[in-house]
Amino acid sequence: MATTIEDPLRTGAARGRSERAARAGVGPLERQRRRVFWPFAAPALLVYAVLFVAPVGYALWTSLHRWDGMGGMDWRGLQNYTLLFRDPRFRTSLFNTLELMVVGGTITFVLSFALTLVLREMRARLFARSVLFFPSLVNGMVFGIAAGFLFSPTGPVNRALELFGVTTPPKWLATDNLLPMVLGTLVWTATGYYTSIIMAAVDQIPDHLYEAAELDGAGPFQRFRHVTLPCAWDVIAVCAVLWTVSSVKIFELILLYGGSTNAYPPVSSWNTAVYVYTEAFPQGTVPRLGTATAAAIVSLAMVTLITVVLRRLLRREPIEY
């Protein structure tokens, strides 16, 4: 993942110059920077190491054992991992994780691009953007509670559809529609979030580029393709990575939409995060923390791999303006 962070940071013209100057000779500034590097970085590193890296290491260690979280650990080597891959429920969970990531991501970004087309030119766009961003600040529990009312057979969504002549609306809350509903909520919150970020980048593109494109007879789509996309590429690329890593953590939504007070959501709708949760907090039996952490480590490995590949695919020469 080394490249993932380095590249976007290398862009930007103003920086380039001072960087080059600094690298050419070891000036006083560079010496100073070298001197303060550790004092400046150490506190955060220490906190990160103690509160983040160490627990991950402990989890990795746990994944090689059988452990109920209370008694002693029994060494199991890689057996937890082999069992995981033999469990069709885990394979479904992996597949669902990927589905949420890819399908959700595609829809979210296509919509975000469409919105940037519109939002650049419409009135009161700052207000609209703020409202679109808002759902990402809302605790997931609120959606779970609201959905039961909004999408009930006699709820407002179906009433609104009736106005448009839809007499047999889908059974929104049925088990079959669980993943689509989760996906819909995700797309709704994420689209606002990423549109807002991408739009802030678009705001920084100088107007003269758009004007020039218009003079050349470019329509809105061409302007998007030849001006917006390349100029905001860095931001879009980072957004894609952020989506990838955050999509793996989706968890509360599935539990809230699909679970009941007595039971977990139907197993065909689990993703790896739910799988981890059900192994770590099972009902009526002791926790299986070995398998739980093994599943978590597998999903961590998967997301790391995908991120690296994604960064490679999205890498482009920076555009200066």
Partner 1 sequence: MSAARIVGAATAAALVLGVSACGSGSGSDAKASGGFTYWSMWRADEPQAKVIKAAIDDFTATTGAKVSVTWAGRDIAKKIGPAIAANQAPDLWDESDDKVYGTTAAAGQALDLSPVLQLPVPGEDVPVSHVIPAKYFDMLPKDPSGSNHYVIPYEVVTNAMFYNAADPAVAAAMPTPPTDWAGLLGVCDALKAAGKACIASEGEDPWTNGLFLDYLLNGAGVNVAELSADRSGAAWDNPAVLAAAQQVEQLVRGGHLIEGYDATKFPAQETNWTAGKAAFYMDGNYVTSEVARQVPAGWKMASILPPTAKTPDAGLFGFAIPKRARNAAAAQRFIAFFLQKKHLSGISTTALNITPRSDIPAPAELADVQKTLEAPSLRLSFDGVGGSWLPKVLNENYLDLWHGKSTAARFVATCRADQVTYWQTQG
Partner 2 sequence: MRRTNRPTGLASRIGTAAVWTVVAADLLLVLWILLTSLRSGPDILRHGFGLPTSPQTSNYTTALDEGGFARAALNSVLTAGLSSVVAVSLAAPCAYALARRRSRTASALTTAFAMGLGVPGQVLVVPLFVGLSRVGLTDSDLGLGLVYVGLAMPFTVFLLTGFFRGIPGVLEEAAVLDGAGPLRTFVLVVLPVARGGLVTAFLLQFVTAWNETLFALVLTNSQGTVTLPVALSSFVAAQQFNGLDFGTMFAGVCIILAPMIALFSWMGSRIIQGMTVGIGK
- Does residue 279 contact residue 298 with C-beta atoms inside 8 Å? no
Name the 3-class secondary structure at 166.
coil
As a whole number of angstroms, the distance between CA 136 and CA 57 comes to: 31
The residues near 277 (Cβ < 8 Å, ≥ 6 apart) are 251, 255, 292
74 pairs with which residues across the strands?
66
Sign of the CA dihedral with 188 first, then 190, 192, and 198 last: negative
* Out of 17, 20, 86, 123, the residue judged to bind partner 1 by CB under 8 A: 86
Specify the pairing of strand 74-75 against strand 65-66. antiparallel
Query: Per rule CB under 8 A, is residue 59 in the interface with partner 2?
Result: yes
- Helix (H) / strand (E) containing 66: strand 65-66
As a whole number of angstroms, the distance between CA 158 and CA 42 comes to: 56
Angle at 231 between CA 202 and CA 107, to 5 degrees: 70
Looking at the Cβ atoms of 74 and 203, the one nearer to partner 1 is 74
Binders of partner 1 among residues 25 to 84 (CB under 8 A) are 66, 68-73, 76, 79-80, 83-84
Query: Per rule CB under 8 A, is residue 283 in the interface with partner 1?
Result: yes
Looking at the Cβ atoms of 192 and 290, the one nearer to partner 1 is 290
Query: Per rule CB under 8 A, is residue 74 in the interface with partner 2?
Result: no
CA dist 136 → 48, 113, 185, 302, 309 (Å): 26, 18, 10, 25, 27
268 contacts which partner out of partner 2, partner 1, none, CB within 5 to 8 A by kind? partner 1
64 contacts which partner out of partner 2, partner 1, none, CB within 5 to 8 A by kind? none
- Helix (H) / strand (E) containing 65: strand 65-66
Instruction: Return the CA Rg of the chain.
Output: 24
Binders of partner 2 among residues 102 to 161 (CB under 8 A) are 114-115, 117-119, 121-122, 126-135, 137-142, 145-146, 149, 152, 155-156
* Out of 28, 71, 77, 165, the residue judged to bind partner 2 by CB under 8 A: 28
Looking at the Cβ atoms of 135 and 170, the one nearer to partner 2 is 135
258 contacts which partner out of partner 2, partner 1, none, CB within 5 to 8 A by kind? partner 1
* Out of 166, 171, 216, 220, the residue judged to bind partner 2 by CB under 8 A: 220
List the beta strands (DSSP E) in the chain: 65-66, 74-75
Region near partner 1 per CB under 8 A, out of 27-35, 48-56, 227-235, 264-272: 264-272
**Binding residues with partner 1: total (CB under 8 A):** 44
Which residues of the shown chain bind partner 1 in the complex (CB under 8 A)?
66, 68-73, 76, 79-80, 83-84, 86-89, 147-148, 152-153, 171-176, 258, 260-264, 266-268, 278-279, 281-287
